[in-house]
């Protein structure tokens, strides 16, 4: 019954039985712990450079073919 609500509930029940009641909480904890890796929020200067590159690219015209 994969892909249905009933199948999802059954899989969740199986996972909790196999790995403990806090199975999904543990996955969330691990994801939250690893999820703060930086990116543009951590480096505004990098965001500024990337935005400028994107702005330049979008303002170019169509590529011209050399005949």
- The stretch 46-63 carries a mean pLDDT of 80
DSSP 4-56: SHHHHHHHHHHHHHHH-TTHHHHHHHHHHHHS---STTT-HHHHHHHHHHHHH
C-alpha–C-alpha distance, residues 4 and 7, integer Å:
5
The count of residues in the chain is: 67
Contact 20/29 with Cβ under 8 angstroms?
no
pLDDT grade, residue 39 (50/70/90)?
confident
pLDDT higher than 80, residue 27? yes
Mean pLDDT for the chain overall: 82
């Amino acid at each position: 019954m994969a892909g249905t609500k009933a199948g999802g509930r059954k899989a969740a029940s199986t996972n909790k039985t196999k790995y403990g009641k806090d199975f999904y909480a543990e996955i969330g904890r691990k994801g939250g712990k690893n999820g703060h890796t930086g990116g543009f929020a951590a480096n505004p200067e990098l965001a500024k450079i990337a935005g400028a590159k994107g702005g330049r690219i979008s303002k170019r015209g169509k590529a011209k073919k050399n005949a």
